[in-house]
RNA sequence: GGCCCGUUAGUCUAGUCGGUUAGGACGCUGGCCUCUCAAGCCGGUAUCACGGGUUCGAGUCCCGUACGGGCUACCA
């Protein structure tokens, strides 16, 4: 590729929510690129969004990437010479660089409140098509601004975008992309809470960590000009930017958890082998051009050429994942397969959690397997009509389940008590009785109308599978809509 | 609305400098194998988004259109 300096790439996930397949996808390509060029692969945690970042999510990222066999050379957990690798621990650094920008006239304090900013943005949008801040506070003299800040007035720091000229992003895959500077917003760099936005933090860190290539998702293309302006303002040489396509749902929208399982935890729980997942991810947007689709991570690294990445947004096709997974499964020796089953499905640990729930509901040992089947399976097969409690309408159940998913999705502490509290609260809020709501959730989660205590069951089942099943129930309900009473016509 | 990216079958993709019966895979489907079902093997299915150019010749080059997607935050 470009020059002699050693390749250094990074993945910079923000620790919010479940570990995402998109994170794994970008991590994979970064890691493979680094290994191919004998460079370094860095994991940096972008937790500048204090409201949404959690340590739990951060740990899930490590766990999931390790599960996939992706490894990094530097990161918060393994250290390195360019640390700290967690942005919340670099706050002072960003403050310092923001200060430099202000002093050199490339940024300024802005005291406008939300109301004004929103109003101006809307006005600008109607007027020019580009909704951006009008630069009102640029006019404030630095001395005055400092005095106001010192006096405790709330402010943010904004980038002073050049008013004319253009910024060109030169992507090795897509060619040059030119943006007129006049279109760009005076982006906020430092928030009122003193934390940087992604824009400042990623530029400062990428520079300080000597990142040579930024391989990230396509959704970042439009903000790259701002980053380039930042590099220029600091007098730094920008890295090479390479934008990967984004993964899509079946309907071709950007992949989302509402339309497709996105949590790596789900795939693990669903019995996808990590080597199959990695291979599958590699096939999305990449091929060697030799008709060989099944290859190991090592082979991928050995033959990888970034120029061969294709740009069309690939649909995350579960059928093909399953096919590949089957191939890998059959490659395993009996012994290895048995090991996987014992650790991933029938682990003593999992069985130990099920036993207390089922002991009072069986009289013969032989009942254990048939009565606990749903603890070990993935998608469930049942009559969607079961989801609808007698006292509710189908629409009510649909609404209730949809609401319940949202609530459940935010439950990080996946324990029976928390779950019960959450769903009872939800039932009260939307004004439906707990019983009928719980029945819907029970059927969604177990496929049956009779089960051990709902919340204990959900706790044992685990978050990924429960979330998947409730969403799946919603889908079943929607798809079966209208055809429950009408006996279908027989053609011919 | 504005800006940007993308476009080979239902899906993932191959197709260097223009000349291919447009290749492979998933899916679906027919068959073989077989006590069944899988797996495996053999076969079938459907595509260059559209319209103009350039050219003897265009999936490949140019222009336009359409469609899909992304971004437009004190989220990343």
Query: What tens digit of pLDDT does each residue of A14-64 get?
Result: 999 999 999 999 999 999 999 999 999 999 999 988 889 999 999 999 999
Q: Is the pLDDT of residue A193 over 80?
A: yes
Q: Region A362-378: what's the mean pLDDT?
A: 94
Report strand pairing: A213-217 vs A240-244: parallel
> Does at least one atom of strand B sit less than 7 Å from the CB of A3?
no
Per-residue burial over A398-436, b = 16 or more CB atoms within 10 Å of its CB, e = otherwise:
bebbebbbeebbebeebeeeebbebbeebbeeeebeeeb
CATH of the domain at A445: 1.10.10.350
A256 in the same domain as A233 = no
Q: Is the pLDDT of residue A281 over 80?
A: yes
Q: Is the pLDDT of residue A231 over 90?
A: yes
> Does at least one atom of strand B sit less than 7 Å from the CB of A174?
yes
Q: What is the ipTM of this complex?
A: 0.94
Q: What is the pLDDT of residue A386?
A: 92
Q: Cα(A334)–Cα(A327) distance, rounded to whole angstroms?
A: 14
Name the nucleotide with the smallest C1'–CA separation from A13.
Answer: B76
A132 in the same domain as A61 = no
Residue A100 belongs to some domain of the structure: yes
Report CA torsion sign: A72, A77, A78, A84: positive
Q: Are A444 and A86 in contact (CB under 8 A)?
A: no
Name the nucleotide with the smallest C1'–CA separation from A287.
Answer: B13
Is A257 an annotated catalytic residue? yes
Q: What is the pLDDT of residue A361?
A: 95
> Does at least one atom of strand B sit less than 7 Å from the CB of A307?
no
Q: Are A228 and A429 in contact (CB under 8 A)?
A: no
A385 in the same domain as A291 = no
Q: What is the pLDDT of residue A3?
A: 52
Q: Region A161-185: what's the mean pLDDT?
A: 89
A53 in the same domain as A96 = no
Tokens encoding A84: 């700290």
Q: Is the pLDDT of residue A480 over 80?
A: no
Q: Cα(A226)–Cα(A200) distance, rounded to whole angstroms?
A: 9
Q: Region A144-168: what's the mean pLDDT?
A: 92
Residue A52 belongs to some domain of the structure: yes
Q: Region A471-478: what's the mean pLDDT?
A: 91
Q: Region A329-352: what's the mean pLDDT?
A: 95
Q: Is the pLDDT of residue A369 over 70?
A: yes
> Does at least one atom of strand B sit less than 7 Å from the CB of A283?
yes
Residue A485 belongs to some domain of the structure: no
> Does at least one atom of strand B sit less than 7 Å from the CB of A118?
no
A229 in the same domain as A148 = yes
Q: Cα(A47)–Cα(A87) distance, rounded to whole angstroms?
A: 6
Structural domain range at position A143: 89-238
CATH of the domain at A229: 3.90.800.10
Q: Return the biggest CA–CA distance within chain A.
A: 85
Among A301, A318, A335, identify where a domain stops.
A318
Residue A354 belongs to some domain of the structure: no
What is the per-residue DSSP string for A81-93? TT---BGGG-HHH
Dihedral class, residue A154 (left if φ above 0, else alpha if ψ from -120 to 50, else beta): beta
Residue A78 belongs to some domain of the structure: no
Name the nucleotide with the smallest C1'–CA separation from A46.
Answer: B76
A112 in the same domain as A46 = no
CATH of the domain at A285: 3.40.50.620
> Does at least one atom of strand B sit less than 7 Å from the CB of A308?
yes
CB atoms within 10 A of CB A300: 22
Q: Is the pLDDT of residue A491 over 70?
A: no
**Half-sphere exposure of residue A457: CA atoms within 13 angstroms, side-chain side:** 24
Among A173, A204, A238, identify where a domain stops.
A238
Q: What is the pLDDT of residue A4?
A: 64
A102 in the same domain as A212 = yes
Structurally, chain A folds into a number of domains equal to: 3
A252 in the same domain as A234 = no
Q: Tell which residue, A339, A340, A333, A368, has the closest CA to residue A354.
A: A368
> For A27 and B64, how far is CA from C1' in angstroms?
39
Name the nucleotide with the smallest C1'–CA separation from A243.
Answer: B5
Q: What is the pLDDT of residue A97?
A: 96
Residues 228-247 of A with CB under 7 A from strand B: 245-246
Q: Are A18 and A60 in contact (CB under 8 A)?
A: yes
Q: Are A260 and A249 in contact (CB under 8 A)?
A: yes
Of A91, A160, A191, A257, which one is the catalytic site residue?
Answer: A257
Nucleotides of B under 7 A from a protein CB: 1-8, 10-15, 23-27, 39-40, 68-76
> Using 50, 70 and 90 to split pLDDT, how confident is the model at A390?
confident
Q: What is the pLDDT of residue A1?
A: 43
> Does at least one atom of strand B sit less than 7 Å from the CB of A415?
no
A133 in the same domain as A49 = no
> For A473 and B67, how far is CA from C1' in angstroms?
32
Tokens encoding A222: 């439009």
Q: Region A345-352: what's the mean pLDDT?
A: 95
Residue A344 exposed, middle or buried by CB count within 10 Å (0-12, 13-18, 19+): middle
Residue A221 belongs to some domain of the structure: yes
Q: What is the pLDDT of residue A262?
A: 95
Q: Tell which residue, A251, A385, A396, A257, has the closest CA to residue A313.
A: A251
A212 in the same domain as A174 = yes
Q: Tell which residue, A267, A285, A266, has the closest CA to residue A275.
A: A267
Average pLDDT over chain A, rounded to an integer? 92
**Which residue is it, tokens 């000597």?**
A210
> Does at least one atom of strand B sit less than 7 Å from the CB of A50?
no
Residue A326 belongs to some domain of the structure: no
A446 in the same domain as A418 = yes
Q: What is the pLDDT of residue A485?
A: 36
Q: Tell which residue, A360, A349, A428, A438, has the closest CA to residue A392.
A: A438
Whole-prediction pTM: 0.93
Residues 350-379 of A with CB under 7 A from strand B: none
> Using 50, 70 and 90 to split pLDDT, how confident is the model at A483?
very low
> What percent of chain A is helix, strand and coil (3-state, nearest 5)?
50, 10, 40
Residue A263 belongs to some domain of the structure: yes
> Does at least one atom of strand B sit less than 7 Å from the CB of A132?
yes
A195 in the same domain as A150 = yes
């Amino acid at each position: 590729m470009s020059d002699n300096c050693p390749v250094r790439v990074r993945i910079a996930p923000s620790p919010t929510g479940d570990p995402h397949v998109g994170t794994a996808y970008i991590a994979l390509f970064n890691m493979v690129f680094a290994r191919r060029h004998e460079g370094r692969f860095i994991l940096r945690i972008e937790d500048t969004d204090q409201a949404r970042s959690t340590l739990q999510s951060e740990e899930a990222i490590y766990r999931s990437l390790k599960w996939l066999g992706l490894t990094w050379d530097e990161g918060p957990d393994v250290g390195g010479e360019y640390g700290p690798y967690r942005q919340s621990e670099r706050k002072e650094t960003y403050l310092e660089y923001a200060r430099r920008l202000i002093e050199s006239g490339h940024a300024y304090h802005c005291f406008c409140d939300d109301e004004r900013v929103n109003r101006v943005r809307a006005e600008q949008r109607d007027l020019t098509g580009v909704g951006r801040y009008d630069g009102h506070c640029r006019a404030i003299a630095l001395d005055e601004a400092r005095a106001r800040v010192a006096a405790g007035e709330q402010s943010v720091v904004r980038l002073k975008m050049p008013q004319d000229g253009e910024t060109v992003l030169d992507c090795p895959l897509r060619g040059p992309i030119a943006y007129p500077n006049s279109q760009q917003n005076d982006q906020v760099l430092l928030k009122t809470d003193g934390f940087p936005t992604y824009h400042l933090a990623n530029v400062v860190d990428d520079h300080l960590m000597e990142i040579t290539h930024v391989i990230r998702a396509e959704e970042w293309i439009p903000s790259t000009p701002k980053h380039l302006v930042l590099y220029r303002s600091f007098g730094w040489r920008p890295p090479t930017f390479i934008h990967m396509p984004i993964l899509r749902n079946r309907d071709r929208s950007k992949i989302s958890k509402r339309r497709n399982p996105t949590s790596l935890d789900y795939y693990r729980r669903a019995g996808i082998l990590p080597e199959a997942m990695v291979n599958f991810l590699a096939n999305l947007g990449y091929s060697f051009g030799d008709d060989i689709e099944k290859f190991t991570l090592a082979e991928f690294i050995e033959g990888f050429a970034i120029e061969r990445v294709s740009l069309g947004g690939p649909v995350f096709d579960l059928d093909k994942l399953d096919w590949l997974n089957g191939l890998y499964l059959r490659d395993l020796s009996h012994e290895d397969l048995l090991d996987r089953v014992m650790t991933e499905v029938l682990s003593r640990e999992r069985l130990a959690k099920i036993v207390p729930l089922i002991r009072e509901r069986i009289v013969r040992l032989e009942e254990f397997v048939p009565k606990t089947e749903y603890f070990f399976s993935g998608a469930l097969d049942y009559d969607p009509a079961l989801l609808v409690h007698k006292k509710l309408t189908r629409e009510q159940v649909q609404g209730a389940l949809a609401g319940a998913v949202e609530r459940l999705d935010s439950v990080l502490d996946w324990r029976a008590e928390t779950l019960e509290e959450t769903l009872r609260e939800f039932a009260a809020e939307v004004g439906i009785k707990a019983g009928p709501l719980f029945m819907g959730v029970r059927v969604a989660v177990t496929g049956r109308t009779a089960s051990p205590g709902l919340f204990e069951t959900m706790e044992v089942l685990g978050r990924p599978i429960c979330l998947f099943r409730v969403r799946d129930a919603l889908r079943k309900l929607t798809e079966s809509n209208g055809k429950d009473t009408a006996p279908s016509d027989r053609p011919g």
